[in-house]
Structure 1
Amino acid sequence: MTVKVYERILDLFEAEGINTIFGIPDPNFVHMFHLADERGWNVVAPHHEASAGFMAEAVSRMTGKAAVCIGTLGPGIANLAPAIMCAKVENSPVIFLGGQRARITEQRVRRGRIQFVKQAALVEPSVKYSASIEYADQTDEVIRNALRTALSGTPGPAYIEYPSHVIQGDLDVPAALPPSAYRLVDQTAGPERVAEAVELIRAAKQPILLVGHGVHTARVGESVRALADALACPVIQTSGGTSYIKGLEDRTFPYGFSPSAIEAVVQSDLCVALGTELGEPVHYGRGRHWVANEANRKWVLVEQDPQAIGVNRPIDVPLVGDLRAVVPQLVSALDGFTRTPSPELAGWITADAERLAELAETAPSGQSPVHPARLIVEATKVFPPDGILIRDGGATTIFGWTYTQAKPNDVVWNQNFGHLGTGLPYAVGAGVADGGKRPLMLITGDSSFLFHIAELETAARLNLPLVCVVGVDYSWGLEVGVYKRTFGQGSRETGTHWSTATRLDKVAEGFGCYGEYVERDEDIAPAIKRAYASGKTAVIHVVIDPKANSEEMPSYDEFRTWYAEGTQ
């Protein structure tokens, strides 16, 4: 069949189950956008290309597939830079398509060319794969290699550039191949290694599952639950893996922030690590809480990238393969084996439930402005049971780790890169991936919310059931704390404050959203309920205590231990 290059690109993505594209419909891409819309794709044009990239990343996290984002030549690619870097550090397989001027223009010896820079060389260090479609008949091989590279080993982004004269080229090609015809899918681990892992599991007295970011982005919760049931063990969350797997909520504890998690780690004689790089936030699996009992603890690591094995710590049994294939393989090899839960497990479950109840009871209340701990408690107490939680912000997120009362099955936030401002675009992307069916709640600080506040219009246009709960201290709260600890109380906090006249609820109303202004903690939950009932995208502006926000961050000492070499 004869097709245009832009049509073939859509065919190749559709073969991967991709049906969403984000970007601003510049002339380079209008034909692709128009055809995608005709085919029933989700075609989303936000207000900034960085937001488009973050939205695509959220779709990838929510679907377990690659995602697609476009940026026009020059400034469009420049605007994509933060999203590209974020996707690299967050291990997100986003395919970024970049337009470019015709190669005859690029190769001229000229000065003063409009909207032009040699952008591939600028992008290349931040992606796993960078290529250009120079000729129409390269389309299949380049798109497929981008997908192959982005989804193999440790996932990550790819960049594909095509000059403006190529996208309108004609191709005579057969139907697009399924993924299994051109790349490795559902890679299982070797049976000998699986047998070794089963032997360790059967012998363990105090096993734990260490569940990371990859478990949720690969969408393997159901099979991980089956493994957890067979082991009858606690589930320890890494800071990147804070979604709760259905059916395991009561025995899932956040590493470092729950005494139950710490006790389970210390007493463990086997750690089965899934979807985690064993990075700084878990002290590489060998420092801090892991030191005790290290000599008696065995490790099983399921890892797609063989080059990651043994880098951060020795591993007794590496299972190299795709989580989506290896975890079911492990469950099957256990052949119905189920451990008797250790006597300590029930105690850890009770202790953690009591911890959360005590935090809800003791978080400072009755003050105005609202204490940030109480903001988290009140907001998460009315979090919809089937909702998607999005986190953003510095101090706000640190309070959230400790005080949240909800146990969502989907949490989206920027853990590895720490990129502020991703929350609102992530919320839009998650809502698009979900089809706008489940309620979304973004809990964020005002600093991070202001990064991409224009995307409120995008959320409203898409009619997403999103409530943004914004803790407003009119400052860079985390940075104010740094000033105070560095220079002492009363120090001059340069560049960290802005006008208390800022009213984010009024901004929301200007975008056609629902807005409420809250100064008392008892008003937070009712405002959130009214916001969901409005049927509109909403913003709840909650004035929080700036002193508490900068000086009373909970578990801050634990957070500081993440910087393992003391470089910050």
Structure 2
Amino acid sequence: MGVPVYKRILDLFEAEGVNTLFGIPDPNFVHLFTEADARGWSVVAPHHELSAGFMAEAASRMTGAPGLCIGTLGPGVANIAGAMMCALVENSPVIFLGGQRARITERRVRRGRIQFVQQERLFAPAVKFSSSIEYADQTDEIIREAIRRSLSGTPGPCYVEYPSHVILEELDVPDPLPPHRYRLVNQGAGEREVARAATLIREATSPILLVGHGVHTSRTQQQVKELADLMNCPVIQTSGGTSFIPGLEDRTFPYLFSPAANQAVEESDLCVALGTELGEPMHYGRTQHWAANDAHRTWVYVEQDPAAIGVNRQFDVPLVGDLRGVVPQLVDALKDTPRTPSATLETLIRDDAEELGQLAESAPTGRTPVHPARFVVEATKAFPDDGIMVRDGGATVIFGWTYSQAKPRDVIWNQNFGHLGTGLPYAIGASVADGGRRPVMLLTSDSAFLFHIAELETAARLNLPLVCVVGVDHQWGLEVGVYKRTFAQPSPQPGVHWSKDVRMDKVAEGFGCHGEYVEKEDDIGPAIARAYASGKVGVVHVCIDPKANSEEMPKYDRFRTWYAEGTQ
């Protein structure tokens, strides 16, 4: 008996460890959705396909496997287009499946066709690979190529379309191949280059380990912990790599926003860079805090995409390969000769802890509405042990960089693309991928939260352990700040303010969630605790000071250097 195409597609993804599907079913997909549910997959139907794309991206970040998102022909696929672009810029391996009408419809020269547009050529520029399953026996090669491309080199999204007449056709095929039979898996670097890198590490006086976004999306935290222990040096986070590896929390410092990080960078004579493009937020590893000692600093760069080597800056030892393969090679090369601790490591750890404590004390207090710095301090103090942190918003994220008191092992936010509104879908996708085991906190603003607020129903339906802590100032805080800095005299500030009658807690209750309304800083932590204890998805509406949120963003001048450096 043959295997229908829709079952074979699921078989191929199961061979990669994928068992989660996001999307809204339609006639093209009902068989696939029904089969996935019967197999015990997590099948999540949100209220908007764009949310589905963001959920799939978050799932890929939490598992290291490709995310899987489905869009119905025409409008559904159009809705996920923004998520495709986001996944491309965020380097996220998400496979988007798109339905389409039978090719006989597409090839006719007619007008007024229902729910139809030629999709593939529209999306091809936004993905790493785009194809269509025109014939049933192409299923294996096209799905495998999409997975191969999404995970190879710089990870990213792929689009696979199939016309409606193909999905029910049957195939006579063997069992799916395991991943290592058709693509590179855990590729290691050359032995000569690894040996040279190990020599540079042993000989360095003040090395640093630069940890980027890719460390967390490849789920190599434990291997990187072993390497960091052998290097005995400061760990510097990129703005995309803001998760804290368990056991390294005390000596992990966020670049640019932490004095300890900036000092460690300036003093370093070796940088071992893992999972980062060294882009604008890192000043390409050349300007700002990197500049002073640039002539005397050597670089070891682990990069999966050989075409990326040397683009943003030159390197001494490039290690081309997958972090899952290369980091264990470095560990093996160094395990018999661990470094003694860097001379300034204990001082940096002490100074960073003092800085964090001082920020918690100095955040303005006693204000109603709550100052946004105090909002971040109190909310992150209430962050649950072993929780998953999701960030969203403009000014809220900027305050969070400086004032956060939590050090989560999983932090998810849209750093490269800056796409607001991803927070709630990210939180849902991450929790689904986690199996709902760990508590999730979404720290966001009202402007970002309103993008996909309908997904509160999705979270409630799935009974996820999620609390959304929303700083509410009834405005686009970051954009109001831009108006104020742009014009010498007060301007009308069109388009950035809205009704002060919006109550996020009441909206939440309408979706069957637990709502809390907070006006005073001392009530933030207890409200968050009650929300988790309720057993429901929670929304905590915190009134924050709109003037402070638009005018007092910490280290905003440093944040703006991300853009300024790129114009030089």
TM-score range, shorter chain: over 0.9
Matching residue's letter, 1:446: D
Alignment of 1:441-452 (within 5 A): 441-452=441-452
Structure 1 residue ranges, 4+ long, deviating more than 2 angstroms after superposition: 564-568
2:52 is aligned to 52
Structure 1 residue 27: Cα displacement: 1.0
Contact 2:283/2:562 (<8 A) preserved: yes
Q: Render the CA deviation track for 1:236-262: whole Å, top value 9, x for unaligned.
A: 000000000000000000000111101
1:404 is aligned to 404
Structure 1 residue 343: Cα displacement: 2.4
Matching residue's letter, 1:361: E
Aligned residue pairs, count: 568
Q: Distance in 1 between matches of 2:342 and 2:273?
A: 19
Structure 1 residue 337: Cα displacement: 1.5
Q: Distance in 1 between matches of 2:146 and 2:264?
A: 41
Q: Distance in 2 between matches of 1:540 and 1:490?
A: 32
Please give the root-mean-square deviation of Cα atoms over the aligned residues, in Å: 0.9
1:141 is aligned to 141
Q: Distance in 1 between matches of 2:351 and 2:45?
A: 47
Q: Render the CA deviation track for 1:97-121: whole Å, top value 9, x for unaligned.
A: 0000000000000011000000111
1:470 maps onto 2:501 in alignment: no
The percentage of aligned residue pairs carrying the same residue is 74
Contact 2:457/2:512 (<8 A) preserved: yes
Q: Distance in 1 between matches of 2:96 and 2:295?
A: 45
Q: Distance in 2 between matches of 1:492 and 1:418?
A: 26
1:290 is aligned to 290
Matching residue's letter, 2:21: I
Q: Distance in 2 between matches of 1:486 and 1:567?
A: 19
Alignment of 1:223-242 (within 5 A): 223-242=223-242
Unaligned runs of 5+ in 1: none
2:316 is aligned to 316
2:495 is aligned to 495
Contact 1:239/1:415 (<8 A) preserved: yes
Structure 1 residue 340: Cα displacement: 1.1
Contact 1:230/1:336 (<8 A) preserved: no
Q: Render the CA deviation track for 1:55-81: whole Å, top value 9, x for unaligned.
A: 000000000111100000000011001
Contact 2:230/2:335 (<8 A) preserved: no
Q: Distance in 2 between matches of 1:424 and 1:280?
A: 26
Contact 1:209/1:273 (<8 A) preserved: yes
2:353 is aligned to 353
Contact 1:469/1:540 (<8 A) preserved: yes
Give TM-score, length-normalised by structure 2: 0.99
Q: Distance in 1 between matches of 2:349 and 2:148?
A: 42
Alignment of 1:376-387 (within 5 A): 376-387=376-387
2:180 is paired with a residue whose SS is: helix
Q: Distance in 2 between matches of 1:230 and 1:547?
A: 47
Alignment CA distance shift 1:340-1:565 (3 Å): closer
Contact 1:51/1:422 (<8 A) preserved: yes
Contact 2:272/2:299 (<8 A) preserved: yes
1:192 is paired with a residue whose SS is: helix
1:29 maps onto 2:61 in alignment: no
2:458 is aligned to 458
1:167 is aligned to 167
Q: Distance in 1 between matches of 2:185 and 2:447?
A: 41
2:192 is aligned to 192
Q: Distance in 2 between matches of 1:310 and 1:82?
A: 30
Q: Render the CA deviation track for 1:124-159: whole Å, top value 9, x for unaligned.
A: 000000000000000000000000111100000000
Q: Distance in 2 between matches of 1:541 and 1:510?
A: 14
Structure 1 residue 565: Cα displacement: 4.3
Contact 1:12/1:143 (<8 A) preserved: yes
2:344 is paired with a residue whose SS is: helix
Structure 1 residue 399: Cα displacement: 0.2
Matching residue's letter, 1:55: M
Give TM-score, length-normalised by structure 1: 0.99
Q: Render the CA deviation track for 1:502-558: whole Å, top value 9, x for unaligned.
A: 001000000000001111111100100100110110000011000000000001011
Structure 1 residue 491: Cα displacement: 1.4
Q: Distance in 2 between matches of 1:385 and 1:237?
A: 21
1:391 is aligned to 391
2:272 is aligned to 272
Contact 2:280/2:565 (<8 A) preserved: no
Q: Render the CA deviation track for 1:345-392: whole Å, top value 9, x for unaligned.
A: 111000000011000001011110000000000000110120000000
1:66 maps onto 2:82 in alignment: no
1:374 is paired with a residue whose SS is: helix
Q: Distance in 2 between matches of 1:488 and 1:20?
A: 52
Q: Distance in 2 between matches of 1:566 and 1:260?
A: 25
2:380 is paired with a residue whose SS is: helix
